[in-house]
Structure 1
Amino acid sequence: MNLHRRKHAFLLLILAATFLFLIIIIGFLCKDAAMETDFVRKNQSPSFRYPFGTDWMGRDMFARTAAGLSMSIRLGLFTATISAVIAFMLGSIAAVMGKAADAFIGWLIDLMLGIPHILLLILISFACGKGVRGVVIGVLCTHWMSLARVIRGEVLQLKQSGYVQAAAKLGTSKGKIITIHMLPHLIPQFMTGLILLFPHAILHEAGITFLGFGLPPEQPAIGVILSESIRYLLTGSWWLAVFPGVSLVLVVILFDYIGSMTRRLLDPASVHE
């Protein structure tokens, strides 16, 4: 990637990240407005005053959507970060701590991946009492496996590379080999995997909340909004589901774009593209 394209990609990355940050801030500001009811204005279609319309209780759907997206992004950021750190640690341990550790972690990854993902997430969330705690624990326990496998494979490949073996034969300590020769190649994989975990976590949080196993109904979460809006679609209140659903999809696409741009900016090989 030449210098001009890298600057362009970096600018787009900053703009996308700023937009997501603004959603979080707007969601905080709209938290109280999202809970206000006014039956005088109930079931109003989208207008200049209410861009996303109002629901059957007269609540502003724009405020509820913003508050729900803000909560989903914050939960996604927290759970994805912890999951990525777990994946990095387990993947690295599996690759450098010998065959026994590799076999155990590989067995654990295969076991977790062998269980239907959404089913495992629902079971863990339900066992932990649902709510925010159940969702957080469920996502933490079910979103680290694929990235751990990627990190493990990358570390094993780096161990067999010529420059790492040459450094080891020259007496370079393992700490220096890891920090100087391995980390520059692991960071792009880790950061890309971390960012791509965000939309995965957000979608699964919304999914189990939609099914009734996630956040409580009093929370203005996207899953709650979509679940409640289903019964009103046949009455013509299409805006109750369309705007929150489209907003959720746009946030997921934005995170995917940020992950792609981050990989291109951090990957040393992209300099030669």
Structure 2
Amino acid sequence: MNQRKKALIIFAITVGFLTFVTVFGIVVTDGARVTDFSKKNMAPCLSYLFGTDWLGRDMLLRTFAGLSMSIRIGLLAAGFSAIIAFVLGVSAAVFGGKADAVISFMIDMIMGIPHILLLLLISYALGKGVKGVVVGVALSHWPSLARVIRAEVLQLKNSTYIQVAEKLGHSKIKTALKHMTPHIFPQFLVGLILMFPHAILHEAGITFLGFGLPAEQPAIGIILSESMKYLITGKWWLAVFPGAMLVFTVILFDVAGSMLRKMLDPSSAHE
């Protein structure tokens, strides 16, 4: 089995598992809110693999519901952020001059501010909640991908077929969409997938700090934040399992991005 087939199999497995987590989390959302005080603070057992919390809620269901919420928010936020990166990255390289200077200044400025701080400010300004988190992640994670896209487009501008297209009278926008986009799409797609783990971690981070999703949502950040006060009483499972699943999910997104890069880049498939 060559490296590209191996990468395809690993990519399919990771995407399949992440899809399962997302769908299963949606299905069990209502069950994750069910309380049963007769079963509160139960340690992990065969009936409750992740144990129960102080309200008797099943931590397995709450963990998957929280992961599903984080993944969906991460996908939405990363998608918007990637679109911003694509538009600004292409515009900076294609139009050049003042447009390039302004966009490059924006990239440097946003990259100079810590992500978590910018996220907190944007989320708080928008009233927190899903809207604040999505907008905050989308507006703070695009610069790195925009810089990569800009560099790729600048290289393409010197290609013979691009110069011929311009001499034939094609507008810069038409040339960018028709001739450049197919070449930069693989980098864009890989950058989009690799943006997911950052979006998920930052969503969980600001929710943990109280600036993200509301407390009634079974989000991973909420679960971890609430479990902190019970750790000193020996209820270790309230934080260990949700935290471990969050880290595992982030790693899977990173693996999926790396495998996709290998499939799209023939030279890296034989490394």
Give TM-score scaled by structure 2 length. 0.93
Alpha carbons of structure 1 residues 238 and 190: separation in structure 2 relative to 1, 3 Å: same
Per-residue CA distance 1:30-81 (angstroms, 9 max, x = gap): 1011101111100100011100000011100000000000000000111101
Per the alignment, residue 63 of structure 2 pairs with 65
Q: Is the 8 A contact 1:185 1:267 kept in 2?
A: no
CA contact (8 A) 2:90 2:176 kept: no
- CA 1:218–1:179 in 2, change beyond 3 Å: closer, same or farther? closer
Counterpart residue number, 2:7: 9
CA shift, 1:171, in A, is: 3.9
- Give the distance between the partners of 1:254 and 1:264, measured in 2 at CA: 15
Q: Distance in 2 between matches of 1:129 and 1:179?
A: 37
**Matched letter for residue 13 of structure 2:** L
| Residue equivalent to 1:138 | 136
CA distance in 1, matches of 2:166, 2:122: 47
Scaled by the length of structure 1, the TM-score of the pair is 0.93
In the TM superposition, what whole-angstrom CA distance separates every residue of 1:73-124 from its partner, at most 9, and x where no partner exists? 0001111011101100100000001211000111111121222221111010
Q: What's the secondary structure of 1:32's corresponding residue?
A: helix
Q: Report the number of matched residues.
A: 270
Aligned to 1:77: 75
Measured in 2, the distance between the counterparts of 1:181 and 1:272 equals 28
Alignment partners' CA distance in 2, 1:26 and 1:159: 46
The alpha-carbon distance between structure 1 residues 268 and 185, as it changes in their structure 2 partners (threshold 3 A), is: farther
CA distance in 2, matches of 1:70, 1:42: 24
| Partner Cα distance (2:175, 2:269) in 1 | 23
CA drift of 1:8 comes to 2.1
State how 1:34-45 maps to structure 2 within 5 Å.
34-45=32-43
Q: Which runs of 5+ in 2 are unaligned?
A: none
1:187·1:266 contact (CA, 8 Å) conserved in 2? no
Shift of 1:183: 3.1
d(CA) in 1 for partners of 2:107, 2:166: 33
- 2:203 is the counterpart of 1:208: no
**For residue 38 of structure 2, what is the amino acid of its counterpart?**
V
**Counterparts of 1:225 and 1:169 in 2: how far apart (Å)?**
55
TM-fit CA distance, 1:178: 4.1
* Counterpart in the other structure of 2:246: 248
Which residue is 1:18 aligned to? 16
**1:125 aligns to what?**
123
Q: Deviations over 1:200-223 (max 9, x none)?
A: 000000000000000011110000
Moved more, 124-133 or 151-160: 151-160
Q: Say whether the 8 Å CA contact 2:3–2:270 is kept in structure 1.
A: no
* Aligned residue in 1 for 2:237: 239
CA distance 1:271–1:242, change in 2 (3 Å): closer
- Letter paired with 2:224: L
Contact 1:185 / 1:268 at 8 angstroms: preserved in 2? no
1:112 to 101, 110, 113: 110
Q: CA RMSD in A?
A: 2.0
Gaps of 5+ in 1: none
Q: Which amino acid aligns with 1:252?
A: V
Opposite residue 58 of structure 1, the aligned amino acid is: G
1:88 aligns with 2:86: yes
Moved more, 150-159 or 56-65: 150-159
Cα distance in 2, alignment partners of residues 147 and 44 from structure 1: 45
